[in-house]
Structures are given as structure tokens and as C-alpha cells.
Amino acid sequence: MIDEISFIIPVFNERETLPELLKSLGGVISGVPKSEIIVINDASTDGSEGLVPGTVRLINSQKQCGYGASIKKGLRKAEYSKICIIDADGTYPPEAVRTLLENYRGEDMLVGKRENLDLSPLRRPVKWIINKFAGFLTGEKIPDLNSGLRIFKKDQAMKFFSYFPDGFSFTTTITAAFLTNGMTVNYEIIPYLKRSGKSSFRPFSDTKNMILLIIRTTLYFNPLKVLLPLGAFFVLIAAVVFGVSWEMGEILDATVSVLVSVAIQIFVLAFIADVVKQNKN
């Protein structure tokens, strides 16, 4: 069982669900010797901040900063070595939190893998593609890339603090950062409730942004994982073009030279980026 933990709850217009969440959390963590709940009010307009009891630490933002920015504010203020982030939208029931607390065994991060995640027919294949792509780049299987309920070590997260984004991609970034740096990330199945209201998911732009984010994050922490396959791809294309040119009797096709040159430049860039990363470490 965890002996100390700080709960960080980013809030924006969650008047309907916040009171019940805070009440249930109070009961769940009553057995933890040292604990605190920090609510970061991201300039809510529905009076959510007025529903936070005095036993909970409240941080008010004067203007809306974003999901990730709110969590980062909470990280700065958190007193304890273990952090648990949880969404305030009522999708994570008390038993989900209890499951993580009871199954935490000292790993760098324990992620709540959402069970019965109700995705639209359009989102389901998109999520599968993104998870597989992220798994390829990080070299690890990722059952749930952006779950909003997870426990992690504060000192490990602070190593990447300056790289964490201010928006909703915080969870994706911290997952990729931990995995590409060899940290222990485990998953525990948790119940998940359907969120009320209409989804704001945009299939093309959101998928594109998520893939670019994963590439950027992996490129930052493990450039060889991205650049070496890219260079190999250009070598393969050059070989195919050379073979076709040979059959056509055009052995000195300029396209082959260009493709090989691009591949060499990518390989050189990959090793330079890796040296820079090693020096930063």
C-alpha cells in the first residue's frame, strides 16, 4: 500500500461531477498515512471552485491554461513523492482509484487501463493505429496510451517537466517519455464510466496531431528509433529504383544518387541527434 500520495485534479466546468469525486476520494484515501488532494481550477465559469471544501487544496488560475498546464501547477505544489492524476468528469469511479492504490508496487508509473471504453466506430480503429504506432516507436506494448488515471513518481516526472505540453496531450507525452527512457510502466485494468455530453473528437486533425506528438516525443528522447528506419526506407527505395533502372539499361539514374544522399544525411543526423541527447543526459 502507498504510504504517501498527492492527488492532482484539473478542473474546468465540472460542477456536476466534482463534489461526488471529492467525496469518494476522501473515503478511498482515508487509509493512506500521508495524502492530499489538490484541485486546479482552470478558470471555470460555472462556479466549480466554490464546491471545493476547505480540506482540499485549491489553486485558481486567472485565465484558462489547459489540462497539461493545470497538472504541471499541481506537480509544483505537490508535497508527496507519489502523484495520482484523475479527471474530474466522473468517468473514473472510486473503485478505479482503489484498484490502483492496492496494486501499486513501486513502479515508476502505474496506468489505469480503461475497461469497457465505449468508442465510436470511427475512433476505435484510430485508437488502435495510434497505440500500435506508439508501441513501435517506444519499443513497448501500450494497452492505454492516454488514460487520465495514473500513479507515478514525482521525481521521475520532474525530469521531463519542461517538455510536458499545456494541452490534453500531457498523458500521451508522459507515457512516451517514461517508456523511451527505460522507466517501468505497468497497467492495471480499471472500470470506466461513459462521459456525458458530445465528444469533441476530430478524426483527421486529432489523429494527425497525436501521431506528430508521438513522433516528436520519441525523436526528442530516442532519435535513433525514428531516424534510422526513415534512413533505411530511403535506402530501400534507392535499391528498388536502381533495380528498375538496371533492367531499363539506365544504370546511372540520378534518382538513385539523390535517394542515397538523402539516406546518408538522415543517418548522419540520427547519430548527431543521439550524441546531443547523450550529452544532455
Q: What is the pLDDT of residues 34-45, one digit of tens each?
A: 999 999 999 999
Does residue 237 sit in the same domain as residue 216? no
What are the residues whose beta carbons fall under 8 Å from the beta carbon of 50, sequence distance 6 or more? none
Percent of the chain exceeding pLDDT 70 equals 92
Helix, strand, or coil here: 233?
Answer: helix
What are the residues whose beta carbons fall under 8 Å from the beta carbon of 68, sequence distance 6 or more? 164, 165, 166, 167, 168, 169, 170, 173
**Greatest mean pLDDT range, 158-162, 164-168, 243-247, 277-281:** 158-162
Q: Which of 173, 195, 221 is the last residue in one of the domains?
A: 221
What total of structural domains would you count in the chain? 2
Q: By residue range, what is the domain housing residue 70?
A: 4-221
Does residue 241 sit in the same domain as residue 160? no
Does residue 197 sit in the same domain as residue 149? yes
245 within 8 A of 270, measured Cβ to Cβ: no
Per-residue CA distances from 57 to 113, 138, 155 (Å): 28, 36, 21
| CATH number of the domain residue 10 falls in | 3.90.550.10
Cα-Cα-Cα-Cα dihedral sign, residues 26, 29, 32, 34: negative
Burial (CB count <10 Å: 0-12, 13-18, 19+), residue 269: middle
pLDDT at site 152: 98
Does residue 217 sit in the same domain as residue 198? yes
pLDDT at site 158: 97
The pTM of the full predicted model, rounded to 2 decimals, is: 0.83
Does residue 84 sit in the same domain as residue 10? yes
Q: Which residue has the cell 466534482?
A: 18
Q: Which of 202, 221, 240 is the last residue in one of the domains?
A: 221
Distance between CA 186 and CA 172 in Å, rounded?
15
Does residue 208 sit in the same domain as residue 227? no
Residue 156's nearest CA partner among 181, 137, 122 is: 181
Q: Which of 198, 221, 244 is the last residue in one of the domains?
A: 221
Q: What is the pLDDT of residues 62-85, one digit of tens each?
A: 999 999 999 999 999 999 999 999
Does residue 104 sit in the same domain as residue 233? no
